Structure 1
Amino acid sequence: MKNNLTHFEVLRKIQKKPTASQRKLAKDLGFSLGKLNYCLKELQKKGLVKIKNFQNQTNKISYLQYVITPKGIAERTKLTINFMKKKMQEYDELKKELENVK
């Protein structure tokens, strides 16, 4: 489940900032650069993310862009649903605990 949560977080962040650098994504997610790199490679192997390399013509600097594939969008949707189910279950359990305290 932890791996799914990590993949969910990475996919969500990529959707919001597809041109962000790995360093920026890692910082935003609270991951080490190595952990993010590993996650991106795993997502790419699974066909959930494509990594495109392009150059800015004005300053000749190379950039990476992360693109979520249709398979990645479907997986992200599934992970979102599972994440919400888990949070609702946690909420219900906490609510029961609080009711028992009263």
Structure 2
Amino acid sequence: MGDETQLQETGNPGIVLSVLTSIERDSSITQRKLANELGIALGLANAYLRRCVRKGLIKMSQVPLNRYAYYLTPQGFAEKSRLTAEYLAVSLDFFRRSRSDCVALFRQCEALGWRRVALYGAGDLAEIAILSAGETAVEVTCVIDSRLAGRRSGGLPIVPDLAAALTYGNVHGLDGIVLTDTQSPQASFDSLSSLAELSGLPRHSVLAPGVLRISPVTAATTGAPIL
């Protein structure tokens, strides 16, 4: 990856905030450890550090064993505070909208006569959906996520696939599935809609909260409704 491409990819404010937070916590952190903590490539972590240095957010000093220590500058502390406030505002907005959308979606499930659903995709949205379902007569039985199978989300078990969800706890089947995958929602919606019908679920058995912005064109192609 060239320097120009790396610089274009270092504008993610969430990663900048994580870099500043990690350095504030551990000034002797290595670039490799930083990359592992952030879940990004080593070269990209280096690019973020160089950009923060150029912007005056951090400074470097060489320490023994040919290593570097990183420190936040006053400007870096100010930027960290600004990004933290921005992150919290965005997170609160996401929670409020997701909560409203999920409650509306479960009301739609009630209108359809659905009583038992599974969620597809563990994470923040799944936990918000579980919380929202508690305001309705719809029961969420489990969360489907192959990456986190065996764990729990919002107090509910995470199962590896749709087949496991259909048979979980000897339940009498599912009425539908609610999409809560925020990583690749459109792709998940499209594949899940086809898989659900092949698994014997009724047509139009996959719903998605509006916050995921599922494409109406794609949804119409799969024959599945969106909220």
TM-score normalised per structure 1: 0.89
Q: How far did 1:99 drift?
A: 2.2
Q: Which residue of 2 aligns with 1:12?
A: 21
Cα distance in 2 for residues equivalent to 1:13 and 1:31: 14
Cα distance in 1 for residues equivalent to 2:92 and 2:82: 15
Q: Which one of the candidate residues 16, 21, 40 is aligned to 2:49?
A: 40
Instruction: Write out per-residue CA displacement over residues 36-66 of structure 1, whole angstroms, 9 at most, x where no aligned residue.
Output: 11000000000000011122xxxxx122101
**Is 1:52 aligned with 2:61?**
yes
Q: Which residue of 2 aligns with 1:21?
A: 30
Instruction: Write out per-residue CA displacement over residues 78-98 of structure 1, whole angstroms, 9 at most, x where no aligned residue.
Output: 000000000000000011112
Cα distance in 2 for residues equivalent to 1:93 and 1:21: 38
TM-score normalised per structure 2: 0.41
RMSD: 1.1
Off by >6 Å, runs of 4+ in structure 1: none
Percent sequence identity over aligned pairs? 28
Q: Which residue of 2 aligns with 1:58?
A: none
Q: Unaligned regions of 5+ residues in structure 1, if any?
A: 56-60
Higher relative contact order (CA 8 A, sep 6+): 1
Cα distance in 2 for residues equivalent to 1:82 and 1:70: 19
Q: Per residue, is there more helix in 1 or in 2?
A: 1
